[in-house]
Amino acid sequence: MRVITQSKWAKQAAFTLVEMVMVILILGIIVVGVSSFVIFGTRIFVESSAVDQVLSQSRFGVERMTREIRSALPNSTRLLTAADGSYQCIEFVPVTASTSYVNAPIAPAATSNILSAIVINQTILAGQWATIYPLTASEIYNPTGSTAKRFLISNVSTSGDQVDLTFGASIRFTEASPLKRLYLTAQPVSYCVENQPNGTSDLTRYANYGYQNSQPAPTAMANRVIMAQNIINSLLIEPAIILTPSSLVTNAIVHIEPRFSVNGESFKYQHQVQVINVP
């Protein structure tokens, strides 16, 4: 039997300088390759996350805007574009409920503080506005005197299949609706595309700022909520919102065309929303 001494084991376990350098070089190449792969994968993840975030925001903002405009009061949409192209705002009056009236004070009949309508499943509340036969934005946003198209409801009472709306004073509506339509509305809502200091624009929503005769600028409205960011439209050259007004035979059409930017690339929405012209 052959016996190997400790010194013999030590001699066999040793390695040369050349071998050590080769191992270091091989490990270095492996580390560089693995790190490049990890960095590349991380970059792809970060960029895809940024794209997904912008896509999610843009879808939510455009979809929310589309749904609200679709339920706007007929002839209530109006568009304001700043002369310097710093913002665009589309304003409309949201319909909370609609029904048919049974008895209503309508000119030239005498004034009254009560309107009777058919009960519906939708809730009618004090603080909403009753609107009959709205034909122009001026009639909707700027009612005058005791004879107008829109009045604030002060009390609601229901009896059987009839609901009585009480107003704070004796009033009468300017015109009767051919089909006796009655719209119950809330305060106006505005969606604005506003330029930001970083060179992009935000899609913002404003509400609860009240009815105003002239369409207000963003600085005159309250309850600002950002719906989407990274819009890059040059608003005077490539408007993000275009309004085709209604006529006697056509509905109003709101064209929603914001262009979004992310990671040096851009994509554009092209939505058309009809506002039914059935007062």
CA angle, residues 260, 264, 269, in degrees to nearest 5: 20
Given a cut of 50, whether residue 1 has pLDDT beyond it is no
Average pLDDT, the chain: 88
Q: Name the token pair of 116.
A: 């009777």
Domain extents in the chain: 73-92+188-275, 95-185
Name the more confident of 18 and 81. 81
Of 220 and 19, the one with more pLDDT: 220
pLDDT surpasses 80 at 2:
no
Q: Which CATH class is domain 95-185?
A: mainly beta
Please tell me which residue, 23 or 228, carries the higher pLDDT value: 228
Strand, helix or coil for residue 94: strand
Average pLDDT over residues 246-259: 89
113 C-beta neighbours (distance < 10 Å), count = 15
Q: Distance between CA atoms of 253 and 205, rounded to whole angstroms? A: 19
Greatest Cα pair distance, the chain, in angstroms, is: 130
Half-sphere exposure of 16 (CA within 13 A, CB side): 3
User: Under DSSP, is residue 150 helix (H, G, I), strand (E, B) or coil?
Assistant: strand
| 1 burial via Cβ count (<10 Å: 0-12, 13-18, 19+) | exposed
Q: Which residues of 114-152 are buried (b: 16+ CB within 10 A; e: fewer)?
A: ebebeeeeeebeeebbbbbbbbebebbbebeeebbbbbe
- The predicted model gives 176-180 an average pLDDT of 94
pLDDT tens per residue across span 69-90 = 999 999 999 999 999 999 999 9
